[in-house]
Amino acid sequence: MLLLLALPVLHLWWVWNRRGRRVTLPFDSPRDAMARGRGWFVRGLLLLGESLPALLLAVAVLLLAQPQDRAAPKLKRALTNIQFCVDVSGSMSAKFGSGNRYDAAMRAINDFLDYRTGDSFGLTFFGNNFLHWVPLTSDPSAFRCAAPFMGPENSPPGFGGTAIGRAVLACRDVLVSRSEGDRMIILITDGDSPDIMNGADLEIAKKLKRDGIVLFAVNIQESEARGELVNIARLSGGEVFNPGDTQALKGVFERIDKMSKAKLEQGTSETVDWFEPFSIAGLAILALYALVQLGLRHTPW
């Protein structure tokens, strides 16, 4: 596109070197004006006025060439990959607030999504087995549609018990597949799990710690969480919470958000369009040319 700048250059050369026709009007041609004794000042004004269209064409060519500049780097929110691990065993149908434990957990998760905009979320349901229901995604709408389709009353065979260790390791496998961003598991359960006993809790905690995964556990039952679950959470850098009602459950997720505040990182410099100076110059030339038309005469030949 910049090769087209030859056109305004040729036009300027023609304006400043052409020999105007001899006419009776005094200022129709710069050379006529000079010949009539008007001098270089008037001739220069006329030539400048006739040069403005060529300058305007040059600005148009520069805009068509799409000038670009490097924008200053901006701070951006660092990504956190959060895998929810929700118990759907039969005991999750026990009453909790106005509904059951499962309903309260899903409502709290949906509220949590509202103040974690920009993160990626995945959802795994588990009992004796596990099912990755929603893959890691930054679109939270999939979570809002998940609750009616999966629960204690709808869970497939083999989900009646509670296998926390198996489910946590399955969530770990999902998170380690993501190379970008921090990693977090939020476990919601109301049961005890034999597969994290007899030292298995320490082995799981080591794996989570090694892979940079923090586990927060929400124990949604009347009794306190067992020590094995506490070990996994705290050794990974997380915590265990024991909410007694729906309001306390909501407060748990608010506390998790505060404990794992999103980080800000320096973004890379991006290429952006740089039209502003050329647009201003074009408008200025156009306005000046309009004023010239009111006071200086020129011939189109």
283/102 Cα distance (integer angstroms): 64
User: Which structural domains are found in the chain, ordered by start?
Assistant: 2-67+275-295 (no CATH), 75-264 (3.40.50.410)
Q: Find out whether 147 and 106 touch, Cβ atoms under 8 Å.
A: yes
Q: How many CB atoms lie within 10 A of CB 282?
A: 19
The predicted structure's pLDDT at residue 260: 65
DSSP state of 157: T
pTM of the predicted model as reported, rounded to 2 decimal places = 0.62
Amino acid identity, position 292: V
The predicted structure's pLDDT at residue 301: 45
Task: List the one residue out of 98, 110, 66 whose CA is nearest residue 271.
Answer: 66
Strands 264-266 and 75-77: antiparallel
The predicted structure's pLDDT at residue 76: 57
The predicted structure's pLDDT at residue 171: 95
- Over its length of 301 residues, how does the chain's per-residue pLDDT go in tens digits? 889 989 989 988 888 887 765 554 555 555 555 555 455 776 777 788 888 889 999 999 999 998 888 876 665 556 789 999 999 888 888 888 778 898 888 888 888 887 777 788 899 999 888 999 888 888 877 777 777 777 787 777 777 788 999 999 999 999 998 878 889 999 999 878 889 999 999 999 999 999 999 999 998 888 888 899 999 999 999 999 988 777 788 788 778 877 766 555 555 667 888 889 999 999 999 998 888 877 765 554 4
> In sequence order, which residues have a C-beta less than 8 Å from that of residue 196 and are 6 or more positions away?
164, 165, 204, 228, 229, 232
Pull the structure tokens for residue 96: 């909790």
The predicted structure's pLDDT at residue 247: 79
β-sheet bridge partners, residue 87: 126
The predicted structure's pLDDT at residue 145: 78
**pLDDT tens-digit readout, 96-134:** 877 889 888 888 888 888 777 778 889 999 988 899 988
